[in-house]
Amino acid sequence: MVKDSLEQTQAAANIDAAHYVFWQPFKLTDSSAKKVYLGKQKILDSIEVLTVKVSYSYDPKAFVWFYYFHPENYNVKAVKVKHNRRTSLILNDSYETQIGLSLNKTRRSFFLNTLGKIDYLRVAYQYEIDSIKLNQK
């Protein structure tokens, strides 16, 4: 058990970030999302994707999201977010499909440099769906 308050704060922030990024693609259906289709692009000079730019606020300081979809199966291949003068790229490496949904299973989050190249690995996530409960009326 973590008892150091700084470690607890960092652990809580990491859990919040993992949860937020895991469910973020579902916010694309939000009526307030401003979406702009940017077409075919390559990320990291080699990964072909279809790109959608999304913002959820008119505030010029708000985060700007880029969703990168696989051009054949439309899975979310990666997500990029510009926040607090930094840019993060989250690559979805594998998907969980056991429960009939295509959800992220493993992903890596990188900070990018000013040229859009990987600066360093920030964190790696591994998700496991061990059960699902449906609310039935």
pLDDT in tens, 27-44: 777 778 889 999 999 999
Q: State the pLDDT at residue 104.
A: 76
Inform me whether the pLDDT recorded for 19 exceeds 70.
no
Give the helix/strand (H/E) hosting 46. Answer: none
The contacts of residue 102 (CB under 8 Å, 6+ apart) are 75, 95, 96
Q: Kindly report, residue by residue over 70-79, the tens digit of the pLDDT.
A: 999 998 999 9
* CA 56 centroid distance within chain: 15
41 lies in some domain: yes
Prediction pTM value: 0.75
Let me know if residue 137 belongs to a domain: no
Q: Is the pLDDT of residue 18 over 60?
A: no
Summarize pLDDT for 102-125 with one digit per residue, the tens.
Answer: 777 788 999 999 999 999 998 888
pLDDT of residue 20: 58
Under the banding of pLDDT at 50, 70 and 90, the label for residue 69 is very high
Position 122 in a domain: yes
Q: Is residue 42 part of a domain?
A: yes
Does 50 have pLDDT greater than 90? yes
Position 46 in a domain: yes
In a domain, 108, yes or no: yes
Assess if residue 132 is contained within a domain. Answer: no
What does each C-alpha distance from 23 to 33, 97, 98 come to in angstroms?
15, 15, 17
How many domains does the structure of the chain reveal?
Answer: 1
Question: Can you give the residue range of the structural domain that contains 116?
Answer: 5-126
Please give the single-letter amino acid code of residue 23: W
% pLDDT > 70, the chain? 76
